[in-house]
């Protein structure tokens, strides 16, 4: 009897512990997707003249290929963003990245500027599924002690896309033509979609969350008093970042805009600062997220103001480049703190708040170029003062958000 019992016990399968997904591969795949998806916004900038020549249109008409993507991208946050809980975060990320890749390839075959613009608008809608869903995914999946690194890496990829996409588009166009840029980027984005499918953690859709409830949650998130400062902060962050590069082109400080190589070097000079940000952010972990945000925005204001003043006072391209890199580093520290802070304040509404935050973030970036175009006659020093003022408003809003959070914690 003892032998039989022992044999049966030995034959019974031993339960194996469920493997815990490692956060680093997930963070890297999400960041690669951010680089590929948001890069689609920026890669059209060097292609405006080739698109205009190929389609028999003007550069002004071709520029709508950028505007259509950006506008659809911002609005798409509100349409697609709240659906994460209903559809499933991994499923929505994979679908959005794959559809972005598909419309990149479709754009390559469009014969007229009107069809190019239409394809880009559809691509912007598809791309909008990624960012708010990725933010909510990281918040729900990555352990708290790794989230600072996760958000810093994600937002560094968002910022780096502006540099990497334009450089890649310029190099590919020089060898082939503009359709090749969309085909190559589409293939790369599709590869990232496959990686996301197999690396990210599957989650079960919350069937109890109806689409109507999701959009009601979005409307509620839009008007919650403790969330409003974050939407104001979102407008300020990319307004300064996009506005800076528009101002360099239009106001032409130190004559850099007239030299394409110098302009490219100045843009690329911010890439090391962006890559350094995920390493710098943990060093500031003793500060609360909102105080780190306020410090980053204040430092951004100081660097951009100093860069503007250095143009008439010093006139050194080397110093100007260093100050711009400092501004980019401070921005790359502030952006993930803003994202992390908004998600901490979101509670159970992470998808809705991520959608609203992203909408205002890219509304801010869309406002930058028209404002700079209308005021470039004032000169770069004056524009840098404008950017610094806007960033200081963002820093003040971060302190207000910190005070509201402290007050809310005190009443619980």
Is 152 inside a domain boundary?
Answer: yes
173 plus 242 within the same structural domain:
no
Is 269 inside a domain boundary?
Answer: yes
For residue 359, what pLDDT is reported? 84
For residue 406, what pLDDT is reported? 74
Measuring CA to CA, how many Å separate 59 from each of 50, 171, 217, 398? 9, 20, 41, 39
Is 4 inside a domain boundary?
Answer: no
198 plus 235 within the same structural domain:
no
Torsion, CA 147, CA 151, CA 154, CA 156, rounded to 10: -130
188 plus 232 within the same structural domain:
no
In our burial notation (b when 16+ CB lie closer than 10 A, e otherwise), range 8-17 reads eeeeeeeeee
Residue 169 sits in a domain whose CATH number is 1.20.1250.20
Is 398 inside a domain boundary?
Answer: yes
In our burial notation (b when 16+ CB lie closer than 10 A, e otherwise), range 110-134 reads beebeebbbbbbbbbbbbbbbbbbb
Is 215 inside a domain boundary?
Answer: no
Mean pLDDT is lowest, of 3-12, 258-267, 391-400, for: 3-12
Which of 183, 209, 235 terminates a domain? The answer is 209
331 plus 245 within the same structural domain:
yes
161 plus 260 within the same structural domain:
no
| pTM score of the predicted model | 0.74
Q: Domain range for residue 126?
A: 22-209
263 plus 141 within the same structural domain:
no
76 plus 147 within the same structural domain:
yes
Give 206-243 pLDDT, tens digit per residue: 655 566 766 777 777 777 888 888 899 988 988 888 78
203 plus 254 within the same structural domain:
no
Mean pLDDT is lowest, of 151-155, 381-385, 395-399, 402-406, for: 151-155
Average pLDDT of the segment spanning 307-336? 87
Burial of 188 (0-12, 13-18, 19+ CB in 10 A): middle
Would you say residue 387 has pLDDT above 90?
Answer: yes
Average pLDDT of the segment spanning 294-317? 91
249 plus 132 within the same structural domain:
no
Element (H, E) at 106: helix 89-108
Q: Could you give the CA distance from residue 221 to residue 374 in angstroms, rounded to a whole number?
A: 33
pLDDT band at 10 (very low <50, low <70, confident <90, very high): very low
Total count of domains within the chain:
2
Measuring CA to CA, which residue among 118, 403, 127 is closest to residue 288? 403
Is 172 inside a domain boundary?
Answer: yes
Is 7 inside a domain boundary?
Answer: no
201 plus 314 within the same structural domain:
no
For residue 19, what pLDDT is reported? 44
Measuring CA to CA, which residue among 126, 127, 90 is closest to residue 205? 90
């Amino acid at each position: 009897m003892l032998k039989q019992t022992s044999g049966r016990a030995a034959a019974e399968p031993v339960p194996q512990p469920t493997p815990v997904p490692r956060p680093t591969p997930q963070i890297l795949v999400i960041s690669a997707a951010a680089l590929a998806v948001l890069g689609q916004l920026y890669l059209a900038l060097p292609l405006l003249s080739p698109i205009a020549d190929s389609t028999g249109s003007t550069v002004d008409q071709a520029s709508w290929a950028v505007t259509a993507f950006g506008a659809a991208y911002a609005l798409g946050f509100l349409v697609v963003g709240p659906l994460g809980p209903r559809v499933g975060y991994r499923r929505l990320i994979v679908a959005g990245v794959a559809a972005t890749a598909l419309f990149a390839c479709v754009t390559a075959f469009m014969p007229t500027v009107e069809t190019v613009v239409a394809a880009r608008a559809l691509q912007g809608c598809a791309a909008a599924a990624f960012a708010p869903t990725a933010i909510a995914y990281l918040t729900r999946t990555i352990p708290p002690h790794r989230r600072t690194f996760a958000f810093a890496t994600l937002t560094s990829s968002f910022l780096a896309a502006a540099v990497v996409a334009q450089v890649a588009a310029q190099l590919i166009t020089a060898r082939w033509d503009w359709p090749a840029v969309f085909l190559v980027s589409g293939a790369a984005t599709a590869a990232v979609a496959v990686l996301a499918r197999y690396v990210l953690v599957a989650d079960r859709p919350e069937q109890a969350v109806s689409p109507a409830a999701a959009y009601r949650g979005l409307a509620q998130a839009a008007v919650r008093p403790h969330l409003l400062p974050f939407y104001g902060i979102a407008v300020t962050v990319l307004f300064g970042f996009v506005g800076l590069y528009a101002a360099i082109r239009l106001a032409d400080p130190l004559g850099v805009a007239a030299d394409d190589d110098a302009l490219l070097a100045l843009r690329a000079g911010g890439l090391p600062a962006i890559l350094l940000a995920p390493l710098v952010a943990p060093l500031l972990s003793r500060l609360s997220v909102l105080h780190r945000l306020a410090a980053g925005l204040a430092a951004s204001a100081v660097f951009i103001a100093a860069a503007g003043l250095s143009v008439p006072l010093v006139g050194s391209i080397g110093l100007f480049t260093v100050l711009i890199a400092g501004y980019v580093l401070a921005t790359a520290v502030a952006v993930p703190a803003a994202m992390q802070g908004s998600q901490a304040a979101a509670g159970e509404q992470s998808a809705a708040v991520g959608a609203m935050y992203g909408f205002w973030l890219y509304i801010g970036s869309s406002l930058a170029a028209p404002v700079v175009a209308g005021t470039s006659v004032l000169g770069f020093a004056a524009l840098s003062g404008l950017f610094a003022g806007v960033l200081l408003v963002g820093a003040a809003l971060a302190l207000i958000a910190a005070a509201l959070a402290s007050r809310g914690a005190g009443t619980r």
